[in-house]
Amino acid sequence: MNIGVIGAGGWGTALALHLYRNRHNIKLWFHSKESLMITKQYKENLYYLPGFILPDEIKLTNNLEEAIYNSEIIVLVVPSQHLRDVIINMSKENIRNKLFLIASKGLELKGGKRMSEVLKEELNDVDFAVLSGPNFSKEVALRIPTTSVVASNSQKISDTFQNLLTNDYFRVYTSRDMIGVEFGGSIKNCLAIATGISDGLGYGSNTKASLITRGLKEMIRVGKKYGANEETFYGISGIGDLVATSFSNLSRNRWIGEMIGKGIKFKYILESTRQVIEGVYTTKVTFENNQELYLPIIKEVYSILYENENPISSVKNLMTKELKSEEI
DSSP-assigned states of every residue in 99-157: EEEE----B-TTT--BHHHHHHHH-TT-EEEEEESS--HHHHHTT--EEEEEE-S-HHH
Pair 80, 112: CB distance under 8 Å: no
Backbone angles phi, psi at 242, to 5 degrees: -65, -45
Distance CA 90, CA 81 (A): 16
Q: Exposure string (b/e) for 97-119, b if CB count within 10 Å is 16 or more? A: ebbbbbbbbbbbeeebbbbbbbb
Q: List 146's β-bridge partners, or say none.
A: 170
Dihedral, 255, 256, 257, 261 alpha carbons, nearest 10 = 100
Pair 57, 28: CB distance under 8 Å: no
Provide the pLDDT for residue 8. Answer: 98
Q: Which of 176, 208, 240 is the last residue of a domain?
A: 176
Do 56 and 129 fall within a single domain? yes
Provide the pLDDT for residue 96. Answer: 86
Q: Report DSSP state, residue 294.
A: -
Give the strands of the sheet with 99-102, arranged side by side.
Answer: 59-61, 25-29, 2-6, 73-76, 99-102, 127-132, 146-151, 170-175
Provide the pLDDT for residue 124. Answer: 84
Q: What is the model's pTM?
A: 0.96
Pair 135, 184: CB distance under 8 Å: no
CATH code: domain of residue 155: 3.40.50.720
Chain-centroid distance of CA 317 in Å reads 29
Known active-site residue 225: no
Shortest CA distance to 14 belongs to which of 136, 190, 167? 136
Handedness of CA 164, 89, 95, 159 (dihedral sign): positive
Do 255 and 309 fall within a single domain? yes
Residue ranges making up the domain that contains 131 = 2-176
Do 132 and 67 fall within a single domain? yes
- Domain tally for the chain? 2
Do 45 and 168 fall within a single domain? yes
In a domain, 325, yes or no: no
In a domain, 72, yes or no: yes
Q: Which of 118, 152, 176 is the last residue of a domain?
A: 176
Q: Which of 124, 150, 176 is the last residue of a domain?
A: 176
In a domain, 324, yes or no: no
In a domain, 328, yes or no: no
Distance CA 43, CA 193 (A): 33
Shortest CA distance to 220 belongs to which of 146, 298, 281? 298
- 3-state secondary structure at position 201: coil
Do 31 and 150 fall within a single domain? yes
In a domain, 69, yes or no: yes
Within a 13 Å sphere around the CA of 246, how many CA atoms are in the beta-carbon half? 25
Do 172 and 28 fall within a single domain? yes
In a domain, 326, yes or no: no
Do 218 and 116 fall within a single domain? no
Provide the pLDDT for residue 94. Answer: 86
Provide the pLDDT for residue 50. Answer: 97
Distance CA 7, CA 82 (A): 10
Do 222 and 151 fall within a single domain? no
Please, which residues have CB within 8 angstroms of residue 96's CB and are 6 or more apart in sequence?
none
Q: Report DSSP state, residue 322.
A: P
Pair 179, 205: CB distance under 8 Å: no
Do 169 and 186 fall within a single domain? no
Provide the pLDDT for residue 83. Answer: 98
In a domain, 282, yes or no: yes
Do 9 and 157 fall within a single domain? yes
CATH code: domain of residue 187: 1.10.1040.10
In a domain, 327, yes or no: no
Provide the pLDDT for residue 92. Answer: 85
Distance CA 102, CA 94 (A): 18
Provide the pLDDT for residue 93. Answer: 84
Pair 133, 11: CB distance under 8 Å: no
Do 167 and 203 fall within a single domain? no
Which pLDDT tens digits describe the chain residue by residue (328 residues)?
999 999 999 999 999 999 999 999 999 999 999 999 999 999 999 999 999 999 999 999 999 999 999 999 999 999 999 999 999 999 888 888 999 999 999 999 999 999 999 999 999 889 999 999 999 999 999 999 999 999 999 999 999 999 999 999 999 999 999 999 999 999 999 999 999 999 999 999 999 999 999 999 999 999 999 999 999 999 999 999 999 999 999 999 999 999 999 999 998 999 999 889 999 999 999 999 999 999 999 999 999 999 999 999 999 999 999 999 998 8
Do 37 and 163 fall within a single domain? yes
Of 105, 188, 284, 299, the active-site residue reads: 188
